[in-house]
C-alpha cells in the first residue's frame, strides 16, 4: 500500500509546483519575476528535501515494520515513540509468557541467608541454587514490593553453607530447624503464610534428596519431608519418574548450580566447537571396592562397574581424583559420563551440556530439569544402569550414526543458557525457566484465586 501511495504524493507535489509557476507568469511579469525565482528555488528545495525524506527516512523505520503511508512526514518524536513501542514488544511478550507473575521476597534477618556468604564457597558450590535464585529474584522484573499483590512468596534460607570441618561437605543437619524458624517468623509477622497454609510459598531444596535433607537415601526417606514444607512449592535438584517420598510435594526440578562465570572462562579458552580429543570422559569418585553402607553401595556400584570394565581402555579417560581444571577436560571431550552418585542427579549434567560434551546419563528413572523446555532426548544419551558394561559398543554406534546431530542440538546456545542460573535473570536462563514453571502453578496463588484474571493477561 505505501509503495503505491508514495509516487502519487510525489506527483501531486510536482503538479502543485507547476501550477504555482503558471500562476506566477499570468500575473504581473516584472513584479513576479523575482518572486518566481524565489518560489522556484523554494519549491525545488522543498521538493528535494521532501523526496529525501520519502526515500531515506523509511529505511530505518521499515525495520520496525510500523511504517505506514503517513510515516513519510513523521517527526522525530513520532519516530522515537515508534522505536520504543517496538523495543517494548519483546518485553511485554516475555511478561505475557510469565503471565504477569509477581513474587514477594521476604526480607529475613541475615542469619538465615547472607551471613553465610562470608564463606565464598557458599555462593558457588553445587547446592548454591538457593543463593543464585534468591539473588536473581531480588533483581528480577517479577519481584513485587507489595506482598498483597504477590502471587508467590519466596523464603530465602541458605541451608547448605555450614560446611563440615571434617570433609568439607555441606552439613545440612540444621536445615530443618533453620527453615522451621524462618517459617515461624514469617507466619507470625505477616498474614500470608496462615491464609494459604504456605501453599503459595516457595523454597529451594537443592540437596541430594530435596527437602528430605539427607544425603543417604535410607535416612532421607525415613526422615521424610518436614510437615511444615509439605504444602509449599519446592525448587529441587532431586527428581525421579517413579513415586518417591522425597518428591511428594509440589516441586520444580531445577539444575544443580554451576557458576556461569566459570563456564564463560572455559569457553573463552576452548570454544564449544573446538577439537575434542578425549572420547569418553569421567572424573570423580569411583570406588574400586565399594563399601556396603547400611545396605547400599555408592552409585549402586555403577561407577565401580565402569571402572572395572573400562579402566585401561584407551578410548576412556577415567580419573578418580579431584582436579580444579576439569572443565578444560570436559570441553575437550565427546562423551561425558553422568552416572548416579548417592542420588540420581549430578552437577556433571549441567557441566557437560554447558561445555558441549554429550552427556551420557546413567541413572535409571531420573527426572531431568525443565523437561518441557529442554529437549533432553535430542541433546543427550541415556544408558540403563544394567547396560554400563556395553558402554563402549553403545557409544561407538552413536558416533557412527547420529553423534553429529546430537552435537548440533547440544551446541545451540539456548540449551546452555537454560541450565545456568545467573544472578541477574535473563530470558531463557534457568531462573527464567523456574519463573515459567511457577507461572504454570498460579492456581496455588492465594491472590489469583480471589481476584479474577485481568483481561490483558495472555493465555
Ligand X SMILES: *[C@@H]1O[C@H](CO)[C@@H](O)[C@H](O)[C@H]1NC(C)=O
What's the min distance (Å) between Cβ of 188 and ligand X? 5
**108 in helix, strand or coil?**
coil
Examine residue 27 and tell whether it contacts ligand X (CB under 6 A): no
Select the residue interacting with ligand X from 19, 31, 46, 87 (CB under 6 A).
87
What's the min distance (Å) between Cβ of 159 and ligand X? 9
Select the residue interacting with ligand X from 168, 191, 274, 365 (CB under 6 A).
191
Examine residue 220 and tell whether it contacts ligand X (CB under 6 A): no
Examine residue 295 and tell whether it contacts ligand X (CB under 6 A): yes
How far is Cα 338 from Cα 283, in angstroms, rounded to an integer? Answer: 10
Decide whether 70 or 184 has the Cβ nearer to ligand X.
184
Residue tagged 541451608 (cell numbers): 159
What's the min distance (Å) between Cβ of 34 and ligand X? 42
Which parts of 36-75 interact with ligand X (CB under 6 A)?
Answer: 60
Tell me which residue of 170, 176, 63 sits closest to 124, measured CA to CA: 170
Q: Which residues does 133 contact at the CB level (< 8 Å), separation at least 6? A: 154, 204, 235, 254, 421, 431, 434
Number of residues that bind ligand X (CB under 6 A): 24
Examine residue 459 and tell whether it contacts ligand X (CB under 6 A): no
Which parts of 103-132 interact with ligand X (CB under 6 A)?
Answer: none
Examine residue 83 and tell whether it contacts ligand X (CB under 6 A): yes
Decide whether 51 or 83 has the Cβ nearer to ligand X.
83
Select the residue interacting with ligand X from 21, 97, 187, 407 (CB under 6 A).
187
Give me the phi and psi of 381, to 5 degrees please.
-125, 145
Decide whether 87 or 453 has the Cβ nearer to ligand X.
87
How far is Cα 386 from Cα 154, in angstroms, rounded to an integer? Answer: 41
How far is Cα 413 from Cα 418, in angstroms, rounded to an integer? Answer: 9
Q: Which residues does 205 contact at the CB level (< 8 Å), separation at least 6? A: 211, 213, 229, 234, 235, 236, 238
Tell me which residue of 240, 236, 270, 261 sits closest to 251, measured CA to CA: 236
Select the residue interacting with ligand X from 26, 75, 188, 273 (CB under 6 A).
188
Tell me which residue of 283, 426, 437 sits closest to 369, measured CA to CA: 437
**118 in helix, strand or coil?**
helix
Which parts of 161-180 interact with ligand X (CB under 6 A)?
Answer: 162, 164, 171, 174
The residues that touch ligand X, with contacts defined as CB under 6 A, are 60, 79-80, 83, 87, 162, 164, 171, 174, 187-188, 191, 194, 292, 294-295, 377-378, 397-398, 401-402, 405-406
Amino acid at each position: 500500500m505505501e509503495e503505491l501511495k508514495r509516487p502519487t504524493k510525489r506527483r501531486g507535489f510536482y503538479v502543485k509546483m507547476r501550477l504555482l509557476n503558471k500562476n506566477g507568469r499570468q500575473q504581473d511579469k516584472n513584479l513576479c519575476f523575482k518572486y518566481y525565482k524565489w518560489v522556484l528555488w523554494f519549491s525545488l528545495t522543498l521538493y528535494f528535501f521532501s523526496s529525501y525524506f520519502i526515500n531515506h527516512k523509511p529505511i530505518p523505520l521499515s525495520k520496525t515494520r510500523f511504517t505506514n503511508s503517513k510515516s513519510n512526514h513523521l517527526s522525530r518524536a513520532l519516530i522515537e515513540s515508534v522505536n520504543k513501542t517496538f523495543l517494548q514488544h519483546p518485553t511485554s511478550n516475555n511478561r505475557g509468557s510469565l503471565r504477569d507473575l509477581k513474587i514477594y521476597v521476604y526480607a529475613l534477618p541475615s542469619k538465615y541467608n547472607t551471613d553465610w556468604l562470608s564463606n565464598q564457597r557458599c555462593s558457588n558450590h553445587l547446592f548454591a541454587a538457593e543463593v543464585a535464585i534468591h539473588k536473581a529474584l531480588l533483581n528480577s522484573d517479577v519481584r513485587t514490593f507489595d506482598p498483597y499483590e504477590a502471587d508467590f512468596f519466596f523464603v530465602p534460607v541458605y541451608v547448605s553453607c555450614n560446611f563440615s570441618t571434617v570433609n568439607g561437605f555441606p552439613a545440612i543437619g540444621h536445615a530443618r530447624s533453620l527453615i522451621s524458624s524462618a517459617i515461624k517468623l514469617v507466619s507470625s509477622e505477616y498474614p500470608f503464610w496462615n491464609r494459604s497454609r504456605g501453599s503459595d510459598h516457595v523454597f529451594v531444596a537443592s540437596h541430594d534428596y530435596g527437602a528430605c535433607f539427607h544425603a543417604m537415601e535410607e535416612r532421607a526417606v525415613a526422615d521424610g519431608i518436614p510437615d511444615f514444607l509439605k504444602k509449599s512449592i519446592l525448587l529441587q535438584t532431586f527428581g525421579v519418574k517413579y513415586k518417591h517420598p522425597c518428591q511428594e510435594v509440589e516441586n520444580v526440578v531445577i539444575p544443580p548450580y554451576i557458576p556461569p562465570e566459570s563456564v564463560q572462562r572455559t569457553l573463552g579458552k576452548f570454544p564449544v566447537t573446538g577439537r575434542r580429543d578425549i572420547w569418553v570422559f569421567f572424573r570423580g569418585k569411583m570406588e574400586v571396592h565399594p563399601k556396603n553402607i547400611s545396605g547400599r553401595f555408592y552409585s549402586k556400584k555403577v561407577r565401580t562397574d565402569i571402572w572395572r570394565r573400562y579402566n585401561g581402555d584407551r578410548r576412556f579417560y577415567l580419573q578418580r581424583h579431584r582436579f580444579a581444571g576439569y572443565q578444560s577436560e570436559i570441553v575437550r571431550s565427546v562423551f561425558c559420563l553422568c552416572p548416579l552418585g548417592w542420588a540420581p542427579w549430578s552437577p556433571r549434567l549441567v557441566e557437560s551440556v554447558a561445555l558441549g560434551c554429550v552427556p551420557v546419563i546413567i541413572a535409571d528413572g531420573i527426572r531431568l530439569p525443565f523437561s518441557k523446555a529442554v529437549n533432553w532426548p535430542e541433546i543427550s544419551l541415556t544408558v540403563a544402569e544394567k547396560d554400563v558394561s556395553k558402554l563402549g559398543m553403545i557409544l561407538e554406534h552413536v558416533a557412527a550414526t547420529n553423534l553429529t546431530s546430537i552435537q548440533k542440538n547440544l551446541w545451540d546456545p539456548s540449551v546452555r543458557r537454560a541450565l545456568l542460573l545467573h544472578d541477574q535473570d535473563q530470558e531463557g536462563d534457568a531462573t527464567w525457566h523456574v519463573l515459567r514453571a511457577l507461572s504454570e502453578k498460579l492456581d496455588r496463588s492465594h491472590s489469583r484465586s480471589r481476584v479474577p484474571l485481568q483481561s490483558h493477561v495472555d493465555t
